[in-house]
Structure 1
Amino acid sequence: MTREHSHFLHLSLQVLGKNRGRRSSSPFFCPLSCPAKAQGTLCSCFSPPDSLAHCESKDSPGEGRQMYHEPLDSHPSTPQPEGKILSAREAKPRTLTEPAVEEGTMAPRKAWAVAGGMGVVLVVAIVLAVSLTQSRSSQPGCESCRPDGDMMDYLLSNGHISHKDGLLVTWYHAANSRSEMEAALSSDVMVLEADVNVEGLNTDNETGVPIMAHPPAIYSNNTLEHWLEAVLTRSIKGIKLDFKSIQAVGPSLDLLRKQTEDGKVQRPVWINADILNGPNVPIPIAVNATRFLSLVQEKYPDATLSVGWTTLYSPFTPNSTYTQDMIEKMHSLVEALPQKVTFPVWAVMARAAWSHFSWLLSQSERYSLTLWQSASDPVTVDDLLYIRKHSATHQIYYDLFEPILSQFKQLARERSGSSRG
């Protein structure tokens, strides 16, 4: 039991102790000393031996019928027959010469001993339940070792990064097939990104089973269930699941919830989907935003949301970039949600829209950006350095390819060192 649990138990027992000697309407403390409760009476109790147990009948308030149990040492007690419980109407006021305990009632000390014992059992049960819940949600002493934990805090806690800087985080793309998954697990990357689809999607062979595949692929030798089992039991890597169809979201979140309830998901989980149409996309192809966000809130709210825009980019044709309207619309969808939110942004278009993204980051401390790159993007190191200069290091993740990534890291270190000097 942790120090927090011990403190909780201590406080709970104090509460029980303080309730002795106070009048209470709780049936927990006086069903045995107020037998008329079965007849619809209101019970209010005092703690013996220095006070009285008092029951009043709801059925006949005008008669003012009351039954008093005085301290046991006021009068000698006599053995009572078992099995008979007096109602409030049967009970009558008695004089000081009458026996201390009415026939068929339980002695106050015995009643309070039973009630007190039940209280202790209840407190211990609550403490154990809290302990089990906390042990399933995170590792002891690691607040970020949970599905909704901060990714940088998690990587910092297990020694993968030295400080909170998104440039230090490394990624593995499309760890979908079993061979790619094995390669990812054998690598030293920190976060695994994989794509989730539905087997046989939109065909007669659609099964509803979540598989690891990037469209247009609708078949795979790897299911999400097998992928999770392998990643969770053989690594401590962070997880990012990218959903390409709304049909895959519900059953996938059910699997995640089951693994989490079994105590297996002790690391951050990102749930990703492109839920709004973005730059240069002529037709609507985004995952339905309302359904996606609703499913996450319903089935697996303890995760980080990674929500972005569908985008197209061609180096051979004119391209537009993200607009303020696109950014504000996304903000309006997630501003009231409780989760941390990271917004995937195509790096090649980020600098041209930086004023919009700077505004977005200023709206909530829960927000971050994940700059991602396609292998053939003409993104420049200068663009990346500009973004880094105008943001906090913990606000931006950089999911980039070589050689851009190494060049960027080198120049970023040099500029950081010169600025400190």
Structure 2
Amino acid sequence: MLSSRASLCVAAASGLLALSACGAGAGDGAQGKGKGAQGQGQGRPTQVGFVVVQPTAVAQTTELPGRTVAFQSSEVRPQVSGVIQRRFFEEGSIVRRGQPLYQIDPSLYRAAANQARAGVANAQAQFEAARVRADRYRPLAEIEAVSKQDYTDAVASQRQAAASIALNRAQLETASVNLRFTTVPAPITGRIGRSLFTVGALVSATQADPLATIQQLDPMFVDIQQSAADLLALRRALASGGVTLARATVRLKLEDGSDYGRTGTVEFAEVVVDPSTGAVTLRARFPNPDGLLLPGMFVRATFSQAIQQNVFLVPQQAITRDPQGHATLFVVGADNKAQQRTVTAPRTQGAYWVVTDGLKPGDRIITQGLRDLKPGAAITAVPANTPQRIEPPSPEQMKKMQQQKGAAGAGKGG
């Protein structure tokens, strides 16, 4: 009986001993984990990549909507009334300035010209007779063989005959011009559209509709709309001296999203603001030898209006925005610690932010290793895109790793 009670006591003691061992193992394991975490936090400084920035000049690129306009556009209109007898062109073809396009019935105008020509001949005959009479009366009036009044009337008749010649010649010229207008020529060189009147149609000089329209498509104009506020800001920047005017070379993006292969230049800007849109029209000129641009197309124009001086180009991944929208970045401090700065970055330029304030020449901007980077953290700064060096663990690190592994195994065994 005593021996069985002793056996129970021994078993109970053994169980308590085992529980104590498990508790100790668990404590050691937690302690090992704490040491491991502490060792990781106190490891080598975070390696980051940086780029060195220097002030530079950056073009202020603007993308604005625009619409293509023919370089020259002219409506073919009749200047006399009549019936169209012939059409001399093919619709959609290229016509040259002065080329005949339509023939209007010239019968009435030819008759009017002949009548005016006969009137000139009649006036010349009357003038000749009046001149001879005045010449004969001059010596007779001097010897008073005829009255001076008769001589005066003869001179006046001569002058009236001369005026009649001038009048009939003007009428002949008018009739000749109208006769010439019966052949309707092309006013400019370009591509002619469809004919709005056919052979046999009656046309007049006062009609509202043109016979056809000719447009010169090479070169081509592009009218670009820019808000008056943006243009005012640009002029203020130019006046301040921080921005210089750039030669505005324009590139186009077509309606299907493709780029137009050729570049153009801005010709001029209007001096008035459209009251309905609040925009100013800028006109650019583009070569169009292939006829790809057609009048009325909507395009997107990209061009540089000015060059901004003494700004910094910072890779976009280096800059973040806080909840208030302020741009911040990290620079490598003098004591190899991460230093956070607030900068002014109003716009992007390709893969870069354009920073106008907050940086100095030679600053080292951190662009890699930014994850979980805190202000004041110790860092190891290397140039961006430098390969990382992976070294084997030291003996002390191996010993700690083995201790942590043993503690973890003891905890599992408990």
> TM over 0.5, yes or no?
no
Larger fraction in strand: 2
TM-score normalised over the length of structure 2: 0.19
Looking at both structures, which has the greater relative contact order when contacts are Cα pairs under 8 Å and sequence separation is at least 6?
A: 2
The two structures have a TM-score, normalised by structure 1, of: 0.18
In terms of Rg, which structure is larger? 2
